[in-house]
Amino acid sequence: MITMSHYLVFSALLFCISVAGIFINRKNILLLLMSIELMLLAVNTNFIVFSHYSNDITGQVFVFFILAVAAAESAIGLAIIVSLFRIRNSLEINLINNLKG
């Protein structure tokens, strides 16, 4: 029998793997964006699990909004990546230090 805790542990595991991915793939900004997509997926799964088990549709409406905003975010992120690659001919994040942050 699959309980709510199974789903919650699964999405926690997915979230932790994608956090590790952000640390490991510091050189490649595309893989960084993909890790962020994975984190959003884990969060959405959490929302749907709670929505299912508490019999409330609000969680699924929220997932809908998150999907729309994430699509907009990845579109703008990819546009920035394309124009960055056109200027600098590389995607290494440690070379992007114009602001000296």
Partner 1 sequence: MDIITILFYLVTSVIILSSMSLVILNNTVHAALLLVLIFFNSAILWLMLKAEFLAIVLVLVYVGAVLVLFLFVIMLLDIPIKKNISQKLYLLFSVTISIIMFAELYMVIFYHDFVASVPTSANSALEFNNTYEIGLSLFTNYIFSFEITAFILLVAIIAAIAINMTGRQRSLRQDPGKQILENKKSRLKIIKDEDL
Q: Which of residues 73-92 bind partner 1 (CB under 8 A)?
A: 73-76, 78-83, 85, 91
DSSP state of 94: G
Q: Which of 43, 52, 95, 100 binds partner 1 (CB under 8 A)?
A: 52
How far apart (Å, rounded) are the C-alpha atoms in residues 56 and 58? 6
Asked if residue 36 binds partner 1 (CB under 8 A), the reply is: no
| Residue from 16, 93, 95, 96 in contact with partner 1 (CB under 8 A) | 16
Residue 60 vs 100, nearer CB to partner 1: 60
φ/ψ of 73, rounded to 5, equals -65, -45
Q: Smaller CB distance to partner 1: residue 60 or 96?
A: 60
Residues 6 or more apart whose Cβ sits within 8 Å of residue 31: 21, 25
What is the total count of residues that contact partner 1 (CB under 8 A)? 70
Query: Cβ closer to partner 1: 13 or 96?
Result: 13
In sequence order, the 6+-apart residues with CB closer than 8 A to the CB of 14 are 38, 41, 42, 45
CB of 9 to partner 1, least distance (A): 6
Left (φ > 0), alpha (ψ -120 to 50) or beta: where does 46 sit?
alpha
